Structure 1
Amino acid sequence: MNLPKAKPFLGLRKLFHVLVSSIAPLAYWYLPFWIPVMEVRDFVLTVLLFALIVFLVLDTTRLLFPPVNRWIMKHFSGLIRETERKKMTGATYTCLSFLVVVFLFPRDIAVAAMLFLTLGDTAAEIAGNNWGRKRYRGRSLEGMAGFFTAVLPLSWIIFQNGVVAFTGAVVGAWIEFFSVGVDDNLTVPLLSAAGLWCLSYVV
């Protein structure tokens, strides 16, 4: 079986995405034992709200003022997609979705949903770009498999339940695969959290 030749790693933007978007879920999960969960939750919400405001201001400014937009796109091209030139960046949608899932859902579900985006989406993009063959609106089955492979052990570590881990990974992979037309930085955490929450009442 001949696989397509692997392409280079996606670079600075994806590395930055993984490192920065890991901060909120890891801070929320690995809280010091002497600090109440609700206090850590409030701290994480505050940081996410602040980050959302910062990215909203930056995005709004560059979209309203073309010279600013050109300067940012020129000097930060490694961190911003060319497709984001005329719209909000993924960072803004990530902060918004993380803020919502931490506010609405239990800690384990919120952490899983955030890491689904951080690790699962990254794995899907790497697998899809390197080995993806047939595509559906830019998505590939190889990318979907990469997402599933990345989040399955993660789900088991968080939930300690094989059924929840497997089903949650499947749901997350399908959400990522069909997140077309809407930024997956928004859809993956929100819909994954909603799916895991519904699953918690069934299993």
Structure 2
Amino acid sequence: VVLIYFDIIGSFFLIGLLVFGFFLSAASLKHKIPVIYWFLERFERPEVLKVFPGKGVLFGVFGVLISLLLFEKDIALAAIMILALGDSFGALIGPFGNIKHPKPFSQKKFIEGSIVAFLAGFIGAMLFVNPLEAFIASFVAIFFEVLELKMLNDKIDDNIMIPLMAGAVITIMRVYF
């Protein structure tokens, strides 16, 4: 976020990173690239490692890129903070939770993780937008992340869903309120 804020990296860099990342992902399906494979082995889900190594990172970069292309800079940065902090803290704290979400929400996620995700995203987003925008954007983004929406029978990746929902909510708030 800091590198984007100070215009050290931008859309062209992220596009290049995505292209390079997709090549590495494809190569990782056939070969165990030493440093890359070490990270994939430790941080990628085993079922994803077999079909799309690096999916989370690549979709995260894609979510950041889409945010930068679609939204004003302050909105994009707030949306990226909700993704970076909310999704990360939710994933760290969630497994220690005790209360699973009721249907139609994800049965794999815990309410405690979602609360922490919302709060972390809200705090991070307030660095770039006003508290009301940050609050509502974080709430809506985490709400939709827990819904696990599908498109063509495949779950929409939260690394794309979170920043898109957050940015769209703030944009709509500014246009209509």
Equivalent position of 1:117 in the other structure: 83
With normalisation by structure 2, the TM-score equals 0.81
Q: Map 1:17-36; keep pairs closer than 5 Å.
A: 25-29=1-5, 31=6
Within the candidate set 3, 22, 26, 1:56 is matched to 22
Question: Is 1:91 matched with 2:91?
Answer: no
Question: Is 1:151 matched with 2:121?
Answer: yes
Mark the runs of 5 or more structure 1 residues left unpaired by the alignment: 1-24, 32-39
Kept after mapping to 2: 8 A contact 1:179/1:187 = no
**CA offset digits 1:87-114 (Å, max 9, x no partner):** 2521111111211111121001111111
Question: Is 1:137 matched with 2:101?
Answer: no
With normalisation by structure 1, the TM-score equals 0.72
Kept after mapping to 1: 8 A contact 2:137/2:167 = no
Distance 2:71 2:19 in 1: 22
Question: Is 1:177 matched with 2:140?
Answer: no
How far 1:197 sits from its partner (Å)?
1.5
Bigger Rg over Cα: 1
Mark the runs of 5 or more structure 2 residues left unpaired by the alignment: 150-154
Any idea what SS the aligned residue of 2:47 has? helix
The percentage of counterpart residues that share the same residue type is 22
Kept after mapping to 2: 8 A contact 1:144/1:176 = no
